[in-house]
A = this chain, B = another copy of it.
Amino acid sequence: METTRWLASDEQRWWRAYLRGNRELDVALDRDLSREGVSLSDYELLSMLSEAEGRRLRMSALAELIVQSRSRVTHTAARLERRGWVRRTPALDDGRGVVLELTDEGLGAVERLAAAHVASVRRHLVDVLTPYQFRALGEAMEAVRDAYASDPTTPASPCEPC
């Protein structure tokens, strides 16, 4: 057992800032969206669909895009289907697959929600940073995102040493 490399005091400070800022941003965005009757994760799903070609995506592609389990996407899609915003159709090229499609009603909803959401993102994130800070934040998070993708312990890999 090797000794732990603890965080230096600056590292600690930034890590804490990340934890708190992130949590607060999440709370604020979710609160703003919930006034419109959807959660942030509902919105993420809908907005990915709205941008997809033909406003349709495979369930698993959707799951990966929004970084959620397939099970969660199934449940969320079921809820959104009950609201008439989304429709499930079998995938033509793969008998196991399901394609989720945004209905016209769903598209209307996304468009309405998007305006509120963008304002919220601006208010709680973009506008509180200098353009330079925002860019630095974005680039750092790109590095985090890409590291995850190439992480061998990510669920995608079924067994470690193969």
Query: What residues of chain A have their CB less than 8 Å away from a CB belonging to chain B?
Result: 4-7, 10-11, 13-15, 17-25, 27-28, 44, 66-67, 114-115, 118-119, 121-122, 124-126, 128-129, 133-148, 151, 154
- Majority secondary structure, A binding face: helix
- CB–CB B142/A17 < 8 A: yes
**C-alpha spacing A136/B134, complex, angstroms:** 9
Q: Would you call A122 and B25 a contact (CB within 8 A)? A: no
* Bound: A146/B17 CA distance, A: 9
Known: A11-B126, A23-B66, A145-B17. Contact between A137 and B140, CB under 8 A? yes
**Contact at A143–B129, with CB atoms within 8 Å?**
yes
Given A118-B7, A151-B28: A21 and B128 within 8 A (CB)?
no
Q: Indicate whether A138 sits within 8 Å of B22 (C-beta atoms), given known contacts A118-B6, A128-B144, A147-B124.
A: no
